[in-house]
Structure 1
Amino acid sequence: MAVPSAQEFHWQSLARLPSGRVYHTLSEVGGQMYMLGGCDATGRPCPTVELYSPEVQNTSHLFPSRAAVAVLGKQILVVGGVGEDQSPLKVVEMYNTEEGRWRKRSALREALMGVSITVKDGRALAVGGMGADLLPRSILQQYDLRKDVWALLPPMPTPRYDANTHLLANKLYVAGGRQCKRPVKTFEVYDAETRSWTTLPTMPCKRSYGGVIWDPNGRLCLLGGLRQGGGHQSSKFTKNVNIFDTNQATWLKSEETVPMKTKRADFAAAYLRGRMVIAGGLGHEPSALDTVDAFHPQKKKWERLAPMNFPRCSTTYIIIRDRLLVVGGVNQVHINSYLNICLYQCRKSHQ
């Protein structure tokens, strides 16, 4: 498949958010983007939902911070998260996008934040999380929308929170995550048919705030990140790229991957029109980055794209109709209220 050239990507500024937002969640229902929760400039959880329609470019007013969100048909399921007192929540709520109203649903068995959630056969699968005791959990639970019940499934071998999950056929992959603020390299997969867990080769290195992309070929791509925490001067950013092939159940050798152009962490990362695209973040610069790179699979190299209109890190992003929407984030010390979109448009559309 032909991929677009670097010149065919561009950025466009869209309607501004009513207020700055960070650590929010984006969901897409019927081509429209819903922004749920997050924190404001003071660090307090935002209880609102914002609706953005790409067609009319309008933002209209209509929840807990760091909640897990899943889309079930025309409804958005919100699970756990952190309340105003900074404690985990067990509350579960459902937003009906057609009716425009919320309903309480069956709560979790215990209060959790940092749950990872995905959808299989119309049911939500929630993995791990961190409890009120600040310890990670190994729980795997399934929510049935029709019955409004949570069912326990076999727990994963390694407790963790903030893990990356991805569903391929009947297998749920769970990569990385955190334990007591420390990143873990554990990589496990749950087989829904056999109801069993398998431990896969561990991730090559521990990293925080890196990019995670699952490409259409079922490959997990880990990009950049932070090797060591601490102050800005002592932070060790990386441009390493690690790729796991689910068909071969192995990590590609380092000589088979191409490092990014720039060492960076806390950036937007997505698969867009046959390319891995990374935007913004933090690096060895005194402020947030505006640079954007994309990997060309045929040329096997990273290419520089047009920069973002506003440099930022800690953004939230989503792909809707072959467009990358980047929403909010932090620019130096200020929470950003801008909504940008990275568009791919065929040259023929301008002729």
Structure 2
Amino acid sequence: MPIPEMALSPVKFLHWEAYPPMAVGRVYCTAALWAGRIYVLGGCSENGLPLDLAEVLDLETQTWCQLPPLPTARAGASAVTLGDQLVVMGGMDAQQSPLASVEVYHPDEGKWERKAGLGQASMGITSLEIDGKVYALGGMGSDTSPQAFVRVYEPVKDQWLSLASMPTPRYGASSFLRGNKIYVLGGRQGKLPVTAFEAFDLEMKSWTRYPCIPSRRAFSSCAANDRAFFSLGGLQQPGPHNFYSRPHFVSTVEEYDSEQGVWLKPTRSSRMREKRADFVAGCLGGRVIVAGGLGNQPSPLGSVESYNHVKRRWEVVAPLPSPRCSCTSLQTSNMLFVIGGVSQGPSTAVEALCLRESV
């Protein structure tokens, strides 16, 4: 029988599948899924320069195909699937400057097309496709300052419109669509992690502030399921009364209960088993998943854990075949893809944690 969305699937129903490697190892690449294919765009190679490389993996045949190059080499861009097109926006160029350019790939035609720019150069945008429009939130500008912009792209008019700005400027935030609201958590302002938790109402076109994430951690990850939002792990900075003299990895788990409207008090068992930062997080079979990252070991982590929200504890999952940090992730209802990142250098690995759909 199919597993209901918030039922808790057994850990044994989760397994890793390794796909053929990418042609070039890369980090800070951008990924999108369309018609059973994963498109991997741009990123940085081992020389640290942005790439114009675009390639596509057919999940059924497990074969890669190189695409026409991106018109603009870029790393740290944002991308969404919009109908039968891929929209790529922002990111960083070879001079390490943010980009305002927007480009669209037409898979059926095998061609790139330049579209109306964002208006302001931005990297670290968080973006979503909702009802045939693209929403782009936040970013870091050319002067390195965080942005509060909220822009919506209307493809018929090839036009970006401005909406009410986020209360808290930030880049590299996490965004989740729940009902008619876009929830935005975390992100950064320069070196400072952001704890603000805010939501944009798509009907009212206005923002609501929620209680902030209780602790401030750099390189943490966020996840969400139907009942809660999570801020996970990261690197804790020493405070004036902190015992630690330098930044340290943490296993912190902050859980916001949507029904109660509060951040739940952490318990000893609700902490992750392993301290980690700069890792992939997602949700499969009612479980929050964390994979890889950096910890107290000299090399990237391969460990993977899943959160049992019923018992409020973490359970071990089969390890990541290629231990990595700084990965690009892509989530479907039953797969969590971990793409590229850093092992010894930029990685070519593409692997997916898969959930069996029936019991």
TM-score when normalising by structure 2: 0.90
CA distance in 2: counterparts of 1:323 and 1:47, whole angstroms: 27
What residue is the counterpart of 1:107 in the other structure?
Answer: 117
* Higher mean C-alpha deviation, range 50-59 or range 269-278: 269-278
CA distance in 1: counterparts of 2:317 and 2:151, whole angstroms: 41
Q: Deviations over 1:287-321 (max 9, x none)?
A: 11111111223343211122122211111122346
- Give the unaligned 5+ runs of structure 2: 239-244
Does the alignment pair 1:227 with 2:232?
no
Which residue, 23, 40, 44 being the options, matches 1:18? 23
Which residue, 142, 146, 157 being the options, matches 2:152? 142
Aligned with 1:334: secondary structure? Answer: coil
Could you tell me whether the CA contact under 8 Å between 2:82 and 2:132 is conserved in 1? yes
Which residue, 159, 184, 188 being the options, matches 1:178? 188
For residue 343 of structure 1, report the CA deviation from its aligned partner: 2.6
CA distance in 2: counterparts of 1:281 and 1:74, whole angstroms: 33
Could you tell me whether the CA contact under 8 Å between 1:243 and 1:257 is conserved in 2? no
What residue is the counterpart of 1:322 in the other structure?
Answer: 334
1:49-198 map, 5 Å: 49-62=54-67, 63=70, 64-198=74-208
In structure 2, relative to structure 1, the CA distance for the partners of 1:346 and 1:90 (3 Å cut) is: closer
Which residue, 341, 345, 349 being the options, matches 2:352? 341
One-letter amino acid of the structure 1 residue matched with residue 124 of structure 2: G
Aligned with 1:28: secondary structure? Answer: strand
Does the alignment pair 1:301 with 2:313?
yes
CA distance in 2: counterparts of 1:136 and 1:214, whole angstroms: 24
In structure 2, relative to structure 1, the CA distance for the partners of 1:88 and 1:280 (3 Å cut) is: same
User: What is the aligned-residue RMSD (CA, Å)?
Assistant: 2.0
For residue 239 of structure 1, report the CA deviation from its aligned partner: 0.7
CA distance in 2: counterparts of 1:12 and 1:199, whole angstroms: 40
What residue is the counterpart of 2:241 in the other structure?
Answer: none
Could you tell me whether the CA contact under 8 Å between 2:269 and 2:313 is conserved in 1? no
What residue is the counterpart of 2:302 in the other structure?
Answer: 290
- Give the unaligned 5+ runs of structure 1: none
Aligned with 1:335: secondary structure? Answer: coil
CA distance in 2: counterparts of 1:346 and 1:191, whole angstroms: 33
Could you tell me whether the CA contact under 8 Å between 1:241 and 1:258 is conserved in 2? yes
For residue 47 of structure 1, report the CA deviation from its aligned partner: 0.6
One-letter amino acid of the structure 2 residue matched with residue 298 of structure 1: V
In structure 2, relative to structure 1, the CA distance for the partners of 1:6 and 1:190 (3 Å cut) is: closer
One-letter amino acid of the structure 2 residue matched with residue 258 of structure 1: S
Count of residue pairs brought into register by the alignment: 343
Could you tell me whether the CA contact under 8 Å between 2:154 and 2:160 is conserved in 1? yes
1:252-263 map, 5 Å: 252-255=264-267, 258-263=270-275
Aligned with 2:148: secondary structure? Answer: coil
CA distance in 2: counterparts of 1:181 and 1:153, whole angstroms: 27
One-letter amino acid of the structure 1 residue matched with residue 220 of structure 2: G
CA distance in 2: counterparts of 1:163 and 1:344, whole angstroms: 27
Aligned with 1:71: secondary structure? Answer: strand
The percentage of aligned residue pairs carrying the same residue is: 38
Could you tell me whether the CA contact under 8 Å between 2:23 and 2:348 is conserved in 1? yes
For residue 347 of structure 1, report the CA deviation from its aligned partner: 8.8
Could you tell me whether the CA contact under 8 Å between 2:181 and 2:199 is conserved in 1? yes
Q: Deviations over 1:31-57 (max 9, x none)?
A: 211111111111111112111111100
Aligned with 1:133: secondary structure? Answer: coil
Could you tell me whether the CA contact under 8 Å between 1:237 and 1:263 is conserved in 2? yes
For residue 140 of structure 1, report the CA deviation from its aligned partner: 1.1
